[in-house]
Structure 1
Amino acid sequence: MKPELFKEILKEQGIHLTDYQMEQFGIYFKLLNEWNEKINLTAITELEEVYLKHFYDSITLAFSENLNTGKISLCDVGSGAGFPSIPLKIVFPELSITIVDSLNKRINFLQLLVDSLKLEDVELYHDRAETFGQNPEFRESFDFVTARAVARLSVLNELCLPLVKLEGSFLALKAAKSDEELVEAKKSMTVLGGKFVKETEVSLPITQDQRYILTIKKVKTTPKKYPRKPGTPNKKPII
Structure 2
Amino acid sequence: MLSDNRIYYDILETACNSLGLELDEKKYNQFIQYKNLLKEWNEKVNLTAIKEDEEIIKKHFIDSMKIFQFHPLKNSKKIIDIGTGGGFPGIPMKIIRPDIDIVLLDSLRKRINVLDDILYKIGIDDVITMHGRAEEYGVREEHREQYDAVVSRAVANLAVLSEFCIPYVKVGGYFVAMKGPSVDEEIENAKKAVSILGGKIEGIIEVDIEGSDLNHNLVIVKKVKNTPRKYPRKAGMITKNPLG
Q: What aligned pairs does 1:1-239 form with structure 2 within 5 A after superposition?
A: 2-13=7-18, 14-69=20-75, 72-239=77-244
| CA deviation vs aligned residue, 1:157-190 (integer Å, no higher than 9, x gap) | 1000000001000000001222111111011111
Partners of 1:5 and 1:91 in 2: CA distance: 15
Partners of 2:194 and 2:126 in 1: CA distance: 30
Q: Give secondary structure in 1 for the equivalent of 2:151.
A: strand
| Cα shift at 1:2 | 4.4
Q: Check the 8 A contact 2:198/2:226 in 1, yes or no.
A: yes
Percent identity over paired residues: 42
Q: Check the 8 A contact 2:73/2:149 in 1, yes or no.
A: no
Partners of 1:7 and 1:229 in 2: CA distance: 40
Partners of 2:58 and 2:42 in 1: CA distance: 18
Q: Check the 8 A contact 1:89/1:97 in 2, yes or no.
A: yes
Partners of 1:84 and 1:119 in 2: CA distance: 15
Partners of 2:189 and 2:16 in 1: CA distance: 38
One-letter amino acid of the counterpart of residue 169, structure 2: V
Q: Check the 8 A contact 1:68/1:94 in 2, yes or no.
A: no
Partners of 2:176 and 2:71 in 1: CA distance: 9
Q: Give secondary structure in 2 for the equivalent of 1:234.
A: helix
- Give the paired residue count: 238
Which 10-residue stretch deviates more, 111-120 or 1-10?
Answer: 1-10
The alignment's TM-score, normalised by the length of structure 2, stands at 0.94
Partners of 1:11 and 1:126 in 2: CA distance: 30
| Cα shift at 1:203 | 1.1
| Cα shift at 1:154 | 0.4
| Cα shift at 1:5 | 2.5
Q: Check the 8 A contact 2:12/2:62 in 1, yes or no.
A: no
Structure 1 unpaired stretches of 5+: none
Q: Give secondary structure in 2 for the equivalent of 1:185.
A: helix
- Say if 1:11 and 1:84 are closer, same or farther in 2 by CA, change over 3 A: closer
Partners of 1:158 and 1:11 in 2: CA distance: 32
- Say if 1:3 and 1:66 are closer, same or farther in 2 by CA, change over 3 A: farther
Q: Give secondary structure in 1 for the equivalent of 2:166.
A: helix
Partners of 1:27 and 1:160 in 2: CA distance: 30
The alignment's TM-score, normalised by the length of structure 1, stands at 0.96
